[in-house]
Structure 1
Amino acid sequence: MGMAICMVELTSIARGIETSDDMIKAAQVTLLRGTTVCPGKYMVIVGGETGAVRAALEAGLAKGGEFIVDSLLIPNVHEQLFPAIAGTQEVVDPQAIGVVEFYSIASAIKAADVAAKAAQVTLIEVRTGYAVGGKGYFTLTGDVGAVRAAVAAAEKQSELYIGSTVIPRPSKQVLESLL
């Protein structure tokens, strides 16, 4: 089985923390992010083998109950998604920059996976709800053509899509702020 990722977003912080504990105990998964998100919600993202992630998601949905706002499961996830969500992605040769923004965290995560699979790009970061009003967005880099292709693929994902941009030659200061 391939690698997968799942997310559960809840309206209760206390239930969110309890849900993350249940998800981790239910299966052999890695907690990629367990954190509060705007406005006063809690989000749990775990990754691992597809079967284990499915089991963790089932446990999370059961524990979260009436507090669940959104959830997602992406089997066969692109390998760059894990470090981009965790904020540990190393970018060796930044070039053109693409930014794609969504009203929902789940939509941003799904679209980032689509973008990474669509073209030869490097995901820089997937920002999930914190300090962005509960929105989600991701940044990526690569040659201009690849960035445009990846952004176009992500736009087609388009569930709760807000907007995007491609910056062919970003300034050094902008690059440094994103890395």
Structure 2
Amino acid sequence: MSAIDLTSSQKNILTALVNLHRDTETTVKGETIAEEIDRNPGTIRNQMQSLKALQLVEGVPGPKGGYKPTVTAFEVLDIDQLDEPAAVPLTHNDETIDDANIQEIDLSSVHHPEQCRAKIHIQGSVRDYQNGDHMVVGPTPVAKLAIEGMVDGIDRTNNILILQVEQIEAPLGEATH
């Protein structure tokens, strides 16, 4: 399959559609997407035409209609579609987030403690997160790794939180796979 290059606007809209569709498992109205990413509903409708042409979105007509992402949309956004993904707990400012699911944790510059960062790729919106928020991610299902830190950056297009890592915990003596 050839790579599809999306504009940042198309990627924002498609990401919002995927997140909202996952939450409701039904069609998503253009107005709901517009509200999620703070855009004009007309802009969403215009962009949906190009996303439909790229076969990333299906339009469903009628009063209960709206938009649904195609399988290709998940591939283009590099999102795994797991029927039963393993849950990774997420705590945001001491409040457990039940509907968040962590897709990927990328630790960078671990060797440099003052600059240790973690990229946390969340399946779902990062709209409610702010720089300076306290986060705990984990423990992960296999390695039982838990990461604690402060939000230091937010990539809203890709649903990624950048954490300034304060602490990484893993149980001693447990084998990791």
TM-score for the superposition, normalised by structure 1: 0.29
- Greater share of helix: 1
Q: Which has the higher contact order (CA 8 A, sep 6+)?
A: 1
- Greater share of strand: 1
Query: Which entry has the higher C-alpha Rg, 1 or 2?
Result: 2
TM-score for the superposition, normalised by structure 2: 0.29
